Amino acid sequence: MSKDAYIHKLLPGSPGGPLLFVFHGTGADENQLLSLGRDLAPQATIVSPRGDVSEQGAARFFRRTGEGVYDMDDLTRATDKMAGFVNTHVEAAKPSAVLGLGYSNGANILASVVFATPAQFDAAVLMHPLIPFEPEVKGSLAGRHILLTAGKHDPICPPNLTTRLEAYLRADGADVTVEWHEGGHEVRPNEIEAARRFFADAAQGV
């Protein structure tokens, strides 16, 4: 797997510091979460790939046939490819910790990689993920820290599916925190503050 398997941007951080992968939402690109990533993890080197699937011109990380209806074969393809991309960058950087941040479709691909390779990320922030299937975790999530953020009135990611994902992750041993707000699919300030605290704790090994 090449470090350039995806079009991506890389922002250097402190040598030997954390490595933070950020994954954009549908229709955005590798620029969407760069500044947020830098704000949340100031010392980290940030890697931001662009989704390699086009949905009527909108970049995504895997295909779907409708809202919340995933092409599971393509999700498997995308998960394997992304896990390889992440691993290649980790092997090159030798970071102190491997962190992930994803929003919407980006949270979904990050979650899928976490399910497939539980040891790859030390900590992951999943903002408004939609996992409409029962995940098959290949191993154990024990010792892995995961923050879920969600809107109580999110029309795209219904709260009951967030709660179900939380239960799946806990059942597989993950240390899970959930941050809610009263709105919909948008990211609100309390989510950002929760993510900042979460990454600060993760960087200290808490």
Catalytic-role residue among 104, 112, 145, 181: 104
Q: Is 112 a catalytic residue?
A: no
* Active-site annotation holds for 14: no
DSSP label of 33: T
Best CA proximity match to 107, nearest among 64, 143, 69, 150: 150
| Inter-residue contact 133 to 54 (CB < 8 Å) | no
Q: Is 154 a catalytic residue?
A: yes
Short-list 175, 178, 203, 179, CA closest to 191: 179
Q: What amino acid occupies position 44?
A: A
Beta strands 58-60; 53-55: pairing state:
antiparallel
Q: Which of the residues 29, 154, 172, 181 is marked catalytic?
A: 154
- Residue found under tokens 């295909």: 63
Kindly name the residue from 71, 96, 185, 201 that is annotated as catalytic.
185
Q: Where are the alpha helices (DSSP H) in 94-188?
A: 105-116, 159-171
Task: Give dist(CA 176, CA 129) in Å, integer.
Answer: 14
Active site residues: 104, 154, 185
